[in-house]
Amino acid sequence: MKKKKVLPGEEVAVVEEFIAANGTYEENGKVYAAVFGDLELDHEEKTAMVKAEHPPVKLKPGDTVFGEITDVKISMAICEVISVEGEDRNITGDTNGTIHISKVSSGYTSEVGKEFRPSDIVRARVIQVKPSIQLTTVSPHLGVIKALCRRCRAPLKRKGNSLYCDACERTEYRKYADDYSDVDFTEFYKQKDTSE
């Protein structure tokens, strides 16, 4: 049985060959997909079916997202958007966002590298998707939610107003979210694994 992803309204067969079954409908001699999902053309039963699945999600302004900092420049951080908060669907289209120096925190930021490091996991909000994805972390609940020690790569713990590595007895600084260290990563990592 052949499998192919189809969109609602997409022509999937002609009635001479296949009968519309679950997830499809017939109109003017043609069979169309009624839902997004995998098309299944059964050549023995002569049926056309679409097994529904959730369509991938498209980023839009206002979305709260999780992402990984992949590069840090003086005036901006590059952030790969991995998932949208509250969504278990993969993201379609461009996922490469930037956080401009003016959108890091409500206070003054002299260098983005003092607030974010590559491999940091951040919660951010989408402020623009076209022509490029722009993100902000200006809000107490936005910012780094997981950071690793630059020296030993162990997760940093929150200590006072900074982050701390017990093993190296070192302090690091970040623009972290107010719930740093209390974030449930199970959903996030599930998402990351399936998108790769």
Q: Of 14-22, 139-147, 163-171, 175-183, which segment contacts Zn ion by CB under 5 A?
A: 163-171
171 forms part of the interface with Zn ion (CB under 5 A) = no
Letters for 96-135 (x = contact with Zn ion by CB under 5 A, - = none) are: ----------------------------------------
Q: State the maximum Cα–Cα separation within the chain, in Å, rounded to a whole number.
A: 74
To Zn ion, the closest distance from the beta carbon of 116 in angstroms equals: 18
Residue span binding Zn ion (CB under 5 A) among the ranges 33-41, 77-85, 92-100, 165-173: 165-173
With CB under 5 A as the contact rule, the residue among 21, 57, 127, 168 that binds Zn ion is 168
Q: Which CB atom, from 14 or from 154, has the smaller least distance to Zn ion?
A: 154
Q: State the number of binding residues for Zn ion (CB under 5 A).
A: 7
User: Which x/- pattern, by CB under 5 A, does the window 57-96 give for Zn ion?
Assistant: ----------------------------------------
* Nearer of residues 77 and 148 to Zn ion, judged by Cβ: 148
Q: How far apart are CA 173 and CA 74, in angstroms?
A: 16
- Asked whether the CA dihedral 83, 161, 158, 153 is positive or negative, the reply is positive
* CB within 8 Å of 92: residues ≥ 6 apart: 56, 57, 58
Q: Is 165 in the site for Zn ion (CB under 5 A)?
A: yes
Separation CA 104–CA 84 (nearest Å): 19
Q: What are the CA-CA distances from residue 174 to residues 51, 74, 112, 147, 151 (Å)?
A: 45, 15, 10, 8, 15
Gap between the Cα atoms of 162 and 174, Å rounded: 7
Angstrom distance (rounded) from CA 127 to CA 193: 26
| Interactions with Zn ion, residue window 136-155 (CB under 5 A) | 149, 151-152, 154
Q: Can you say how many angstroms the Cα of residue 94 is from the centroid of all Cα atoms in its chain?
A: 10
Residues at the interface with Zn ion (CB under 5 A): 149, 151-152, 154, 165, 167-168
